[in-house]
Amino acid sequence: MKHKQAFKDKVAIVTGSSMGIGKATAKLLGEQGAKVVLNGRTAERLEQTAANMKSIGLDVLAVQADMSKVDDCKKLIDETIKYYGRLDILINNAGMSSRGYFEELDPKVFQDMMNINFLGCVFPTRFAIPHLKESKGSVVFISSVAGIRGLPETIMYCASKMALTSIAESLKVELAEYHIHVGIVYVGITQNDEGKKVIGKDGKLVLLESREDRKAQNPEDVAKSIVKNIKKRKFKSILTLLGKVNFFANILIPRIVDRILIRAKGRINQMNK
């Protein structure tokens, strides 16, 4: 019972929570007593997710909003406060990957990736901080092991996820006196929902192949790690063995890492499909 009520009466926003990691995290928080605000850009999918969670007794509010737009981010925070009256946890999960070598990318891809993955975390955090000061709550950024070391063909995804580390590190210092927990979780390769898309080199959406036949984490396991980060008020959480190896190797033997990646470009290309 204690485990199930770990977040009793806490109010949590999970951006990008109509599918994948966000959905699994929102569900787990709800099961442990939190009132959860779901968010997504697609109304139909968002409402279906909300209906499913309400059917098992979870207390959820669905807010359709695009995190790459300032006004939508303010709307998400405002509607949360209006409905629940407080905010304890903000999980910046909404994001999208991209594909294509740097010289092939349409300039629109640069803008879209930073708007979605970077500013899509910055904007909601900016509006959430006054409320998190009151609750001494948590703000968590969902990054990627690709945000530890730049990789070929996913260059803008890596760049936008790396930028989150700077935000998290700065906020940890700025908000320390307010006792706000700042966390960042570096997620590894994760199984994707059917129909998940990424941004192609021309800026158009491309269907991502299933990862069921790969050594990928399932969203539920990732959700457990995210929730654990919040419970322990931990700063950095690096998931998977590969992620940890990537982190330490990049510090200790960066030149060797360069050589390995140069030789592995073809294999990385296949993994990105």
DSSP β-ladder status, 138-144 and 89-92: parallel
Q: Can you tell me the distance from the alpha carbon of 6 to that of 8, in angstroms, rounded to the nearest whole number?
A: 6
List all residues 6 or more positions away from 252 whose beta carbon is below 8 Å from its beta carbon: none
Q: Is 157 a catalytic residue?
A: yes
Q: Which amino acid is at 172?
A: K
With CA atoms as reference, report the closest residue to 17 among 160, 226, 270, 159.
Answer: 226
Q: What is the CB-side half-sphere exposure of residue 223 using CA atoms within 13 A?
A: 20
The residue count of the chain comes to 273
d(CA 193, CA 213): 14
Q: What one-character-per-residue DSSP string does 56-82 give? A: TT--EEEEE--TTSHHHHHHHHHHHHH
Q: Which of 84, 101, 157, 178 is catalytic?
A: 157
Q: What phi, psi does 239 have (nearest 5°)?
A: -95, 155
Residue 161 Cα to chain centre, angstroms:
9
Residues that are catalytic: 157
